[in-house]
Amino acid sequence: MEKITTRLMNWASILDEGTRAQAETTATMPFIYPHLALMPDAHLGKGATVGSVIPTLGAIMPAAVGVDIGCGMVAVRTQFHVDELPADRSVVRRAIASAIPLSAGARNPRISRTHTAERVTELESLADEAGFDPGRYASVWDLQLGTLGSGNHFLEVTLDEEDRVWLFLHSGSRGVGNKIAQHHIGVARTFCERSWIDLPDPDLAYLVEGTDEFWSYIRQMRWAQHYALLNREEMMDRMLTCLAEWTGAAVERIEEINCHHNYTESEKHFGKQVWLSRKGAISARTGEAGLIPGSMGTASYVVSGLGNPLSLMSAPHGAGRVYSRTRARKTFTIEQLREAMVGIEFEDSAAFLDEIPAAYKDIDQVMADASDLVEIRHTLRQIVNVKGT
């Protein structure tokens, strides 16, 4: 761990100057208490660095929570061993890609599953309690429940160190979460402008606790966090069905972990109740189970938190980009992607060049940097990968 300033603690051994400067700027905001914790996977983000743990007193910065509110991972360990799986893995890849709409803007044609309808009803009830209509942000929010999205989101069949079969996925609150975030980022900017508040970056605009605008954001953000959690549960249900049909046997859920990495909670740290925003970070209290995915084609990890107080009991959420998507597409070739994905069933397409493992930090180095934040329980390696473009 490196103490950059009294208000910025850094766990990233791989840190470019732009990312460092962005984190230093965020740490100067007057309501940060006691300090910002920069995770090993830190990289440039909107306003605040992705891979930041940001405790605030009496204020919250919507852009520092992230625009994919509630984004996170879920993993389920099944009873299967790799030897019990059919040889042709393309069958289950195609089945998963058919059962779960992929890519930006994707939606279900209709709500046809009972468990989907039950989750939509739950979210409608929670929206009523929060006093808002999610349809105002995204008219198809209900049809997007159980859809993946694009970018670094994925659906995978993986094996642990004992060759036991896990299902693992990464996604968030889809279009409705993004629209909620963008709306409140705009509200915060307007508030700061009208209050003549001079900001070092417009995306560090904030809302003050006690105002209607603040509590409106909190209520809607919490709804979006729950949407993201149910979205992952919905996709996992469908993946389990695909696995059952592929193997010809009912699937047992031996262990399940579902965790956010773009969210805010009220937590107590260093003697004070703060709003703790984890933007690209997971909670890592002592003994708490968590998930840290690598990039496409590299290992992912099931971890247990060590409760490090300086990190505000947090840990990284993944590998962290070192190449922008545009630069990655210009730098790498489809042959390099194929080489990186040897032994993994995936859609062989240049559309995924920006997700090549070389565009990300070395996950092994990230985990080494996080050695005082989490301990590794399981190392997962993909055998099937499904992504959206």
| Active-site amino acid positions | 317
Largest CA distance in the chain: 65
Return left, alpha or beta for 310; rule: phi > 0 is left, psi -120 to 50 is alpha, else beta: alpha
Q: Is 34 helix (H, G, I), strand (E, B) or coil?
A: coil
Residue the block writes with tokens 């094996």: 159
Q: What residues contact 294, with CB distance under 8 A and at least 6 apart?
A: 300, 301, 318, 319, 357, 360, 363
* CA–CA–CA angle 378, 380, 386 (5° rounding): 150
Q: Are 58 and 206 in contact (CB under 8 A)?
A: no
- Smallest CA-to-CA distance from 58 within 33, 78, 39 is with 33
Sign of CA dihedral 345, 348, 349, 355: positive
Q: What residues contact 66, with CB distance under 8 A and at least 6 apart?
A: 45, 46, 50, 181, 262, 279, 280
* CA–CA–CA angle 166, 257, 323 (5° rounding): 75
R_g of the chain, CA atoms, integer Å? 20
Q: How far apart are CA 46 and CA 359, in angstroms?
A: 19
φ and ψ at residue 177, rounded to 5 degrees: -65, -40
Query: What number of helices (H) and strands (E) belong to the chain?
Result: 9, 17
